[in-house]
Structure 1
Amino acid sequence: MKVLATLARVYVDDLDTALPTLRELTGESEGLRFPHAGVEVARIGGLLVVAGTEEALAPFRRVQSTLLVDDLDGLGELLRTLGGELLDGPNQVPTGRNATARHPGGAVFEYVEFDRSRPVFAD
């Protein structure tokens, strides 16, 4: 498994309000936007913006960053070997597969393996 990119997570109450400033600051537009599990998600540059009510965001806030990887297979075994743990997944999500893991020391990351054939990527 190789990490291809790291996305900093940004939690906001409204995506449409937050995105114009982020577009201006990054010089980019969102390349991906979709609803998921009661929140809205958009990727803009190196950011993953997650929007929703405080209640909807609560289960997502423990995740500190999203790691895009080429393959999720073997993640659980790797984490156990290193002293971490798989908290959830792998699961099917709108973008492919994901898993949530706690690393040694307590950091919590979401791992995502994109499946570019999924409808969320259609133009």
Structure 2
Amino acid sequence: MAVLTTYARVYVDDLDAALPTFEALTGAKPELRFVYEGVELAAVGACLLVAGTPEALAPFRNVQVTAIVDDLEEILTVVAREGGQTLDGPNAVPTGQNLTILHPGGAVIEYVRFDSAKVEAQT
């Protein structure tokens, strides 16, 4: 199992208003941009901007990081061995599959295994 990349989550009210600043700071354009469960998301550099109303963002705010991995099953194995808890998933998402884990010590991390065809459709 490998963590391929990580995205710091940044919660914003308005994605279109936030994007120009993050593009200027990172020198990058959004790699991904899509809508999921009432929120808009865009990956810019090492940030995953998550935008929506306070009500729409509420279910997502406890997640601190999104990690892109090559194997969700291995994540589940490690979490079970180390005493973590699966909060949600695995689920089908616009970019592949995800799951959300509560790690011992309190960190909440979303793990995503990209499906290249789905990712390509979101760029």
TM-score (normalised: structure 1): 0.95
Q: Which residue of 2 aligns with 1:61?
A: 61
Secondary structure of the corresponding residue to residue 73 of structure 1: helix
Higher share of residues assigned helix: 2
Is 1:45 matched with 2:39?
no
Task: Supply the distance in 2 between the matched residues of 1:74 and 1:111 (Cα, whole angstroms).
Answer: 11
**Aligned-pair RMSD on alpha carbons?**
1.0
TM superposition outliers: structure 1 runs of 4+ over 4 Å: none
AA at the equivalent of 1:114: F
Q: Which residue of 2 aligns with 1:12?
A: 12
Percent identity between matched residues is 60
Task: Supply the distance in 2 between the matched residues of 1:109 and 1:64 (Cα, whole angstroms).
Answer: 6
CA displacement at 1:76 relative to structure 2:
2.1
Long gaps (5+) in structure 2: none
CA displacement at 1:75 relative to structure 2:
2.2
Task: Supply the distance in 2 between the matched residues of 1:65 and 1:34 (Cα, whole angstroms).
Answer: 18
Q: Which residue of 2 aligns with 1:121?
A: 120
Task: Supply the distance in 1 between the matched residues of 2:77 and 2:16 (Cα, whole angstroms).
Answer: 39
CA displacement at 1:47 relative to structure 2:
0.4
Is 1:29 matched with 2:29?
yes
Long gaps (5+) in structure 1: none
Is 1:73 matched with 2:68?
no
Q: Provide the aligned length of Structure 1 versus Structure 2.
A: 122
CA displacement at 1:86 relative to structure 2:
0.9
AA at the equivalent of 2:44: I
